[in-house]
Amino acid sequence: MSNAATFDTRTDSAIPVESPLTYSYRRSGAPGGQSYRLKLRERAMLGHLILRGGAIVLDEAVREVLGLNLPGQPQTLVQDDSGERSIQWLSPDEWLVIVPGGEEFPLEMALRERLGDAHYAISDVSGGQTVLEISGDAARELLMKT
């Protein structure tokens, strides 16, 4: 295993885990019972790992540990059958792995064990990211404005 300092960010501490959107939830909100053309739903508290390194070495390790291949084409992703785990292509040597909350640290440790002394980097960025699901008649219109 690599000689890297690692720590589990989801320990059983007295500090509650909060969504990055917690404060915006407190300031806003739409009245219930109405029909909207756009719906946003947060999938909070998921595990987010950034993987960096050579595609061949990382692909072998990820396939062995997670059972998924790294996406090889720009702006693509792969998902498991449940849709709970995904890997997104970010750049030729960088991928974002999203897993259910609580799985990120064991996954990081398993990948580090499998990768050994290979040249790579794994960063847990879970605390600063979230996933928003956008749906409704106006979803395409919203995305076209970005």
| Domains recognised in the chain with CATH numbers | 40-144 (3.30.70.1520)
**Angle, CA 76 vertex, CA 100 and CA 115 arms, to 5°:** 60
pLDDT of 10: 63
Distance between CA atoms of 90 and 41, rounded to whole angstroms? 23
pLDDT tens digits along 12-54: 667 777 787 777 766 666 666 677 888 888 898 999 999 999 9
pLDDT tens digits along 84-103: 999 999 999 999 999 999 99
Distance between CA atoms of 76 and 48, rounded to whole angstroms? 17
pLDDT of 29: 61
Polymer length of the chain: 146
pLDDT of 100: 97
